[in-house]
Amino acid sequence: MFKSGFVLDTDEKLNAAMYNKTPVIVYMNGRILDYGGVIEKIDEFSVKINGDYFLKETCEFRIR
Protein backbone atom coordinates (compact mmCIF):
# COMPACT_ATOMS: atom_id res chain seq x y z
CA MET A 1 0.00 0.00 0.00
CA PHE A 2 2.79 2.43 0.92
CA LYS A 3 6.16 2.92 -0.78
CA SER A 4 9.48 3.03 1.04
CA GLY A 5 10.12 6.46 2.54
CA PHE A 6 6.42 7.42 2.60
CA VAL A 7 5.69 9.74 5.55
CA LEU A 8 2.94 8.65 7.93
CA ASP A 9 1.75 12.11 8.93
CA THR A 10 -1.86 11.44 9.95
CA ASP A 11 -3.54 9.07 12.39
CA GLU A 12 -5.30 7.40 9.46
CA LYS A 13 -1.98 6.58 7.78
CA LEU A 14 -0.46 5.35 11.05
CA ASN A 15 -3.52 3.14 11.66
CA ALA A 16 -3.31 1.72 8.13
CA ALA A 17 0.37 0.89 8.64
CA MET A 18 -0.42 -0.78 11.97
CA TYR A 19 -3.31 -2.77 10.44
CA ASN A 20 -1.15 -3.94 7.52
CA LYS A 21 1.83 -4.64 9.82
CA THR A 22 4.05 -2.43 7.67
CA PRO A 23 7.55 -1.83 9.11
CA VAL A 24 8.36 1.81 9.84
CA ILE A 25 11.47 3.84 10.67
CA VAL A 26 11.38 6.63 13.28
CA TYR A 27 13.08 9.94 12.48
CA MET A 28 13.78 12.94 14.68
CA ASN A 29 15.18 16.22 13.34
CA GLY A 30 15.82 14.61 9.95
CA ARG A 31 17.93 11.78 11.36
CA ILE A 32 17.07 8.17 12.03
CA LEU A 33 16.20 7.79 15.70
CA ASP A 34 15.27 4.10 15.54
CA TYR A 35 15.02 1.54 12.76
CA GLY A 36 11.66 0.71 14.30
CA GLY A 37 9.55 -2.17 13.15
CA VAL A 38 5.84 -2.86 13.15
CA ILE A 39 3.55 -0.46 15.02
CA GLU A 40 2.05 -2.18 18.06
CA LYS A 41 -0.15 0.60 19.47
CA ILE A 42 -1.17 4.17 18.74
CA ASP A 43 -2.66 6.60 21.22
CA GLU A 44 -3.31 10.33 21.28
CA PHE A 45 0.31 11.30 21.91
CA SER A 46 2.56 8.36 21.05
CA VAL A 47 3.27 5.37 18.84
CA LYS A 48 4.54 2.09 20.31
CA ILE A 49 7.05 0.15 18.21
CA ASN A 50 8.96 -2.87 19.56
CA GLY A 51 8.04 -1.95 23.13
CA ASP A 52 9.32 1.63 22.85
CA TYR A 53 7.10 4.70 22.79
CA PHE A 54 7.79 7.58 20.40
CA LEU A 55 6.03 10.94 20.68
CA LYS A 56 4.05 11.97 17.61
CA GLU A 57 4.86 15.62 18.30
CA THR A 58 8.63 15.21 17.99
CA CYS A 59 9.05 12.17 15.73
CA GLU A 60 8.38 11.44 12.09
CA PHE A 61 7.36 7.97 10.97
CA ARG A 62 8.24 6.66 7.53
CA ILE A 63 7.76 3.37 5.75
CA ARG A 64 10.91 1.24 5.83
Domain of 17, CATH number, reads 2.30.30.100
The torsion angle over the Cα atoms of residues 20, 6, 51 and 16, rounded to 10 degrees, is: -30
Whole-number Å distance between alpha carbons of 58 and 28: 7
- Looking at residue 2, its pLDDT comes to 81
Q: How many CB atoms lie within 10 A of CB 54?
A: 22
Question: How many structural domains does the chain have?
Answer: 1
The mean pLDDT value for 28-48 works out to 96
Q: What average pLDDT is seen over the chain? A: 96
pTM given for the model: 0.93
- Looking at residue 43, its pLDDT comes to 96
Q: Is the residue at 6 inside a domain?
A: no
